[in-house]
Amino acid sequence: MPHVNIKHFPTTMNEAQRLSLADAIVETILTHFDTYPGAVTVALEPIAESEWEIKVMRDELVNKRDLIIKAAEYRTLGAAK
């Protein structure tokens, strides 16, 4: 406990980037939960854009909306960041 699962469009990330991301997530978890680093698991789950509507939008964001603590502010993929 706790487990963090990040669903995302497929992307290329090298091992150093993956470890850096995991370290940052673990550090954040440790500031908010009374736990230790070895108790935290982090998963990256690539979801194809063609499956996003069902696997994420419906299954996660709509069906589990009571669990969302920060909602996305969607914009078109080509829009400036």
CATH number at residue 46: 3.30.429.10
Count: domains in the chain = 1
From 2, 10, 37, 46, the catalytic residue:
2
80 in any annotated domain: no
**Given a cut of 90, is residue 15 above it in pLDDT?**
yes
**Given a cut of 60, is residue 79 above it in pLDDT?**
no
Average pLDDT, stretch 29-51? 97
37 as an active site residue: the answer is no
Q: What does each C-alpha distance from 62 to 9, 27, 54, 55, 57 come to in angstroms?
A: 18, 29, 10, 10, 6
pLDDT at position 67: 96
**CA distance linking residue 38 with residue 13, whole number of Å:** 23
Average pLDDT, stretch 29-47? 98
77 in any annotated domain: no
Tokens of 13: 């990330």
Rounded to 5 degrees, what are φ and ψ at 7?
Answer: -90, 135
Q: What's the whole-model pTM score?
A: 0.82
The residue to which tokens 């993956």 are assigned: 18
12 in any annotated domain: yes
Structure confidence at residue 17 as a pLDDT band (50, 70, 90):
very high
pLDDT at position 76: 64
